[in-house]
Amino acid sequence: MHEAQVRLTTGSLQVRRPSTAIIDLVMFAGAMALFYGIISAARTWFAPFTPTVEIHRDPRYLPVYAGYSLLRIFLAYVLSLLFTLVYGYVAAYNKRAEKFMVPLLDVLQSIPVLSFLPSVMLAMVALFPRHQLGVEMGAIVLIFTGQVWNMTFSFYSSLKTIPREMREAARIYRFNWWQRFVNLELPASAIGLVWNSMMSVAGGWFFLMACEMFVLGARDFRLPGLGSYLQTAASAGDTSAILWGLFTMIAVIVVLDQVVWRPVIAWSEKFKLEQVEAIEVPTSWFLNVMQRSGLLRALNKQMVGPLSERVALGVARRTRMHVNDEKPSLVRRAINLVIALGLLVPVAYGAARMTVLLTGITSIEVAQLGRGLLATFVRVNVTLLIACLWTIPVGVAIGSNRRLAKIAQPLAQIAASVPATALFPIVLLLLMQIGGGLGIASIVLLLLGTQWYVLFNVIAGAMAIPADLKEASNIFNIHGWQRWRKLILPAIFPYLITGLVTASGGAWNASIVAEYFHFRGQIYQTIGLGATISHATDKGDYALLVAATLAMAAVVVTTNRLMWRRMYRLAETRFSLEA
């Protein structure tokens, strides 16, 4: 019987499944539409540089703006994933590099996106002065700085907590680094990486408004996109345009959930470390459709499979040659010394230039930095405490209940992706009417922007709990608080620490928009380090901007060294799933 005539019968209901030919046709049409969109965007990017771009508030422009924003976020995510795999791998396995790579990651995640904006935009425009590509590349790199850190922390943490017996098995079977990477390390980090990828993309939507609509003094770097549309509508107080923009963003997020994240979550379920089969597993209709596609099967058989085999064979040959022909240690030390000097010279030059710049800071500005630092530190920690109070129980409930996850997962993505700055005018006006000021409203905005880092990591941790451990808890009648203390909290602890570290950095990042806000031609601000950074950017005061950024980075790094690093070590030594 032809496949198009196959029917699924459930009681009296008969559902005709589409044939593979129809599925392949739809896949081919979607690929062609995507290719056409990329070509159209490339033409715009290589067009002459446009000094001023008009952002229309007419809803008819929203599909085009959404396409531009989605492409920027996708390219930034690809860049983030490559950075995550390389940086996290080296930091996890090179003890010498780990000593400065992890603190450097702390510094980078603590620097607000707005602090990156002037240097990145000016550098990219200088590289491509005659084309729009410079501004586009600047926006992509800035979105990358808002996406990459939690992914890198998650991958690094997953590599450090791989069970010892799994590593011993890879050693017994003599896996080379590529086989170990593909067959052990990527699978072990898959669930955490998937959920942090979702959070990263949501973070990309959050910072889209700042990245697509940036003005530095007399220079205008606005770009057509959904973020600039929402920022324009919010600045004008156009409630109708804000609602149209939010509706479009939600529609895009729902589509992404169905065709990207839900299939990836269902696919990553097979990488759970457990000895018995789970009773309930996540499913995806789109993944089922792709698995039935003859075109994708042919591509996998003719291209992907042979290519992966060639890569594996090439790595095996190079590894064998490296073992048989090792270079003298003296040569390796000389090469490492040259590389270290090559990195040290530009760092020393940059530090010297920064020191000269900081000499322009006055004592009044130093006192302002101190007060702002203390105020923002209190707000960030209050925000983390509030976030933990609700995200831990809710995240465990979502990660443990498949039916609830089907409903709550897309809702969480939508809530995490909607830029809080688009909702902030409503929050600000409401709190001012009931007696609250920007001091309270800034905590609400920080919470809207950072609580999702904790929630998504807790969900990933709850989903990664092996089914055999749950069954053992049921057999021994471990319930209530004892179940939380003996099973749930220890199992999610590594994921929770990753979520809190990235949420802390995200909260410091979000303070630049939470403590200083433009609305209807007026500036609302409160005492805080984020407000100092935003005010310095508006004035073009680079000395104050650098000083405030360094102060923020110093506090985040100190907190991570004194607290979060010890928590990571505890997760690695005590709460790792190993025999």
Q: What are phi and psi of 215, to 5 degrees?
A: -125, 125
- How many Å apart are CA 72 and CA 247, to the nearest integer? 19
What length does the chain have? 579
> What residue type is 164 in one-letter code?
R
pLDDT digits (tens, 9 = 90+) for 444-486: 888 887 888 899 889 988 888 888 888 888 888 888 889 998 8
The pLDDT, as a whole number, for residue 1 is 40
Question: Three-state SS string across 226-240, please?
Answer: HHHHHHHHHHHCCHH
Residues whose CB is less than 8 angstroms from the CB of residue 133 and which lie 6 or more positions away in sequence, other chains included: 45, 46
Flag the least confident range among 13-17, 74-78, 222-226, 240-244: 13-17
The pLDDT, as a whole number, for residue 436 is 61
Flag the least confident range among 78-87, 103-112, 275-284: 275-284
Residue with tokens 């290589």: 46
Flag the least confident range among 91-105, 404-418, 489-503: 404-418
Residues whose CB is less than 8 angstroms from the CB of residue 130 and which lie 6 or more positions away in sequence, other chains included: 48, 49
Mean pLDDT confidence for 125-130? 74
Mean pLDDT confidence for 319-343? 61
Contacts within 8 Å (CB) and 24+ apart, 358-367: 358/543, 358/546, 358/547, 358/550, 360/543, 361/543, 361/544, 361/547, 365/544, 365/547, 366/547
Question: 3-state DSSP helix/strand/coil percent for the chain, to nearest 5?
Answer: 80, 5, 15
77 and 200 Cβ atoms separated by less than 8 Å: yes
The pLDDT, as a whole number, for residue 304 is 72
Mean pLDDT over each residue of the chain, to the nearest integer: 78
Confidence of residue 529 (pLDDT cuts 50, 70, 90): confident
How does DSSP assign 360-371, residue by residue? T--HHHHHHHHH
- How many Å apart are CA 111 and CA 90, to the nearest integer? 22
How does DSSP assign 123-152, residue by residue? HHHHHSTTBTHHHHHHHHHHHHHHHHHHHH
Of the two residues 266 and 318, the one the predictor is more confident about is 266
CA 339 to chain centre: 30
Q: Is the pLDDT of residue 231 over 50?
A: yes
106 and 560 Cβ atoms separated by less than 8 Å: yes
The pLDDT, as a whole number, for residue 527 is 86
Flag the least confident range among 43-47, 273-277, 371-375: 273-277
Global pTM value: 0.73
> What residue type is 206 in one-letter code?
F
> What residue type is 448 in one-letter code?
L
Of the two residues 278 and 293, the one the predictor is more confident about is 293
